[in-house]
């Protein structure tokens, strides 16, 4: 194991453990950097102090991706390690330090030192399990496209007491445009993109993995199964809106506002097609002749499937067969996992 400084100034940890003669090489990937804690007061325990609460461990990055580093090390120990009976394959290891901040250090290092990464199989262990205690192999990931939509209606702000009513409000126009991206059930609706894909992996329920983040009275949105919606259908999210914040807002009709819109792209849809469809949809949804500019930020196509990389025994072979069959009969993968990245990493054309 050693430290390598990447061109963006961060450090990557790389390692190599040769296996038996002729054995394939497996590259293990993870990252150790984490998102900033942001509002310290919103944390119930200190963000950078790993703290046990009700049998679970909490801390910034405990799951993404420190938990995955622990998983790698535990698996390597179980396999025997250099001091035990030895690994059955040649191993390469990389833990990067620039994934969350999105500065691309590792991408720049790969062409400079390709020998560090050459392998027969790559395991990107930066995804989660479908449910607590259920080991999950992620064989494909949704793609992603992000745009910034700017809506202009007036040359300048106007007083809402004097002109409110007839004056075209840019914020109201943006609200209408954004609302057109979902139907009344909450399904994502982008003209030209199929929104009725189904996932045939045996999970047809409406239970959310881990069941967290939603007060009891708030219902799930969409009409498919949770698996359909997570893995087989486009999903839109408004990541941010630039308009006056409540504190300091005045009696003004807005002239120009903007929003960042993110669209997760399921397997079977090309990200560039999705970007075109989203751009056309946003432009054509403008009410009152409002001027709409759509600036593309990123487009990364769905990845996978990787069924051949799964183990050939027990559940691995079964799931690999099922994945391959699904692809050949429907022309698209439906055994996929949701991407977990933050908007910070979206500019790097990377899905996980």
Residues 6+ apart with CB under 8 A from 344: 35, 100, 101, 102
Q: State in Å, rounded, how far the first CA of the chain is from the last one.
A: 25
Give the strand pairing for 90-96 and 25-31.
Answer: parallel
Which lies closer to Zn ion via its Cβ, residue 65 or residue 76? 65
Which lies closer to Zn ion via its Cβ, residue 276 or residue 344? 344
Q: How far is the CB of 167 from Zn ion (least distance, A)?
A: 46
**Could you say which of 126, 157, 228, 229 contacts Zn ion (CB under 5 A)?**
126
Which lies closer to Zn ion via its Cβ, residue 31 or residue 281? 31
Residue with tokens 């994502």: 188
171 binds Zn ion (CB under 5 A): no
| Residue of 57, 60, 62, 12 lying closest to 36 (CA atoms) | 60
Residue with tokens 């996929």: 336
* Choices 57-65, 87-95, 225-233, 311-319; region in contact with Zn ion by CB under 5 A: 57-65
8 Å CB contact between 252 and 133: no
Is 99 an annotated catalytic residue?
Answer: yes
The helix or strand, by DSSP H or E, that contains position 226, with its residue range, turns out to be helix 226-227
Q: How far is the CB of 99 from Zn ion (least distance, A)?
A: 6
Is 107 an annotated catalytic residue?
Answer: no
| Residue of 144, 189, 137, 170 lying closest to 340 (CA atoms) | 144
In eight-state DSSP terms, residue 20 is S
33 binds Zn ion (CB under 5 A): no
d(CA 56, CA 34): 19
96 binds Zn ion (CB under 5 A): no
The contact pattern for Zn ion, residues 60-79, with x = CB under 5 A and - = no contact, is ----xx--------------
- Of the residues 64, 96, 99, 100, only one is catalytic, namely 99
Q: How far is the CB of 337 from Zn ion (least distance, A)?
A: 13
Which lies closer to Zn ion via its Cβ, residue 322 or residue 344? 344
* Choices 84-92, 125-133, 193-201, 220-228; region in contact with Zn ion by CB under 5 A: 125-133
d(CA 186, CA 183): 5
Which lies closer to Zn ion via its Cβ, residue 195 or residue 352? 352
Residues annotated as catalytic are 33, 99
Binding site for Zn ion (CB under 5 A): 64-65, 126
């Amino acid at each position: 194991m050693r430290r390598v400084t990447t061109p963006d100034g961060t450090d990557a940890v790389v390692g190599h453990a040769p296996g038996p003669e002729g054995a394939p090489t497996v590259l293990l990937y993870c990252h150790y950097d984490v998102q900033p804690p942001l509002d310290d007061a919103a944390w119930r325990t200190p963000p950078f102090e790993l703290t046990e609460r009700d049998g679970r461990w909490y801390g910034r990055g405990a799951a993404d991706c420190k938990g995955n580093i622990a998983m790698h090390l535990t698996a390597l120990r179980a396999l025997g390690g250099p001091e035990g009976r030895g690994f059955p394959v040649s191993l390469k290891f990389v833990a990067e330090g620039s994934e969350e901040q999105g500065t691309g250090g590792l991408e720049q290092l790969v062409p400079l030192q390709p020998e560090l990464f050459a392998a027969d199989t790559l395991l990107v262990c930066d995804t989660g399990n479908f449910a607590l205690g259920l080991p999950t192999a992620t064989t494909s990931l949704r793609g992603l496209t992000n745009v910034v939509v700017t809506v202009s209606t007036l040359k300048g702000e106007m007083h809402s007491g004097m002109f409110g009513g007839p004056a075209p409000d840019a914020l109201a126009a943006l609200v209408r445009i954004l609302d057109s991206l979902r139907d009344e059930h909450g399904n994502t609706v982008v003209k030209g993109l199929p929104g009725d894909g189904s996932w045939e992996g045996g999970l047809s329920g409406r239970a959310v993995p881990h069941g967290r983040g939603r007060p009891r009275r708030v219902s799930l949105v969409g009409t498919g199964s949770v698996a359909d919606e997570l893995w087989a259908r486009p999903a839109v999210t408004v990541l941010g809106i630039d308009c006056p914040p409540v504190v300091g807002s005045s009696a003004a009709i807005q002239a120009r506002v903007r929003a960042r819109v993110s669209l997760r792209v399921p397997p079977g849809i090309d990200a560039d097609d999705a970007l075109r469809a989203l751009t056309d949809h946003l432009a054509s949804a403008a009410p009152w002749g409002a001027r709409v500019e759509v600036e593309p930020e990123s487009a990364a196509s769905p990845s996978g499937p990787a069924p051949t990389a799964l183990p050939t025994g027990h559940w691995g072979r079964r799931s690999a067969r099922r994945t391959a069959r699904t692809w050949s009969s429907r022309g698209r993968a439906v055994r996929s996992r949701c991407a977990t990245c933050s908007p910070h990493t979206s500019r790097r054309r990377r899905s996980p």
